[in-house]
Amino acid sequence: MAPEPTEVVLSVEGEAARPGESPRRIRLEARFRVAGPGPTPAELGEAVAALDRDLSEATRLAGFAPTSPPRADRSLTELVETYRPRQAELVELLLAEGEVTPSEAEALRNYLAGPATAAAPPARPRDEVPITDRPIAAAPLENDRTPIRARPVADLLAQYHIESLRQAGAVRARRQISFEEYMALKRHFAPSEAAAAAP
């Protein structure tokens, strides 16, 4: 008996505005019916990147312009110091949530696949200041509103009315919680997500 086809929904969104108008959140969504095994994380990452390019082109043709210039890709040293990747699944999660660009994700994948995976992060040039020593104004995410110290999970659930991991991801996408706080919420919801997925 053939397996029931499943539906995969991918979406990207961004903030853009026409001249003289207030900024708007513009969302582009694509639905795919999949028969058999679902797509791999790498295939999902490529699909999200393609969808993001389609959104940029559609908003441009409609006369919209991004409200802030696109962020330049960060160096591998900065990416490794920021995210400390140990598994490819983390890279795909970061890409799906917009934490890293497709080219940054590719650099991290190559880093994880290399012979120095378990070694220390790549050496930093002598004249490069460590991220932890840089002034706040030099932070790569200028609109990041996350606190320096991770808050307790109970406080995050109450403050942002988070009831699922998907809602936690949406709050993270707005940069209202830190990556560490998101991972704590992911661990919090892991038992319930596993129970829901069980037959």
- Domain hosting 51: range is 1-16+25-70
Q: Which pLDDT tens digit goes with each residue over 35-53?
A: 777 778 878 888 888 888 8
Alpha-carbon distances of 193 from 4, 165, 196, rounded to whole Å: 21, 8, 5
What is the signed CA dihedral for 72, 75, 76, 78, rounded to 10 degrees? -100
> Are 3 and 64 in a shared domain?
yes
> Are 39 and 83 in a shared domain?
no
pLDDT score, position 57: 87
Q: Total domain count for the chain?
A: 3
Amino acid at residue number 124: R
Q: For residue 132, tell me if it sits in a domain.
A: no
pTM over 0.75: no
How far apart, in whole angstroms, are the C-alpha atoms of residue 49 and residue 109?
A: 15
> Are 97 and 64 in a shared domain?
no
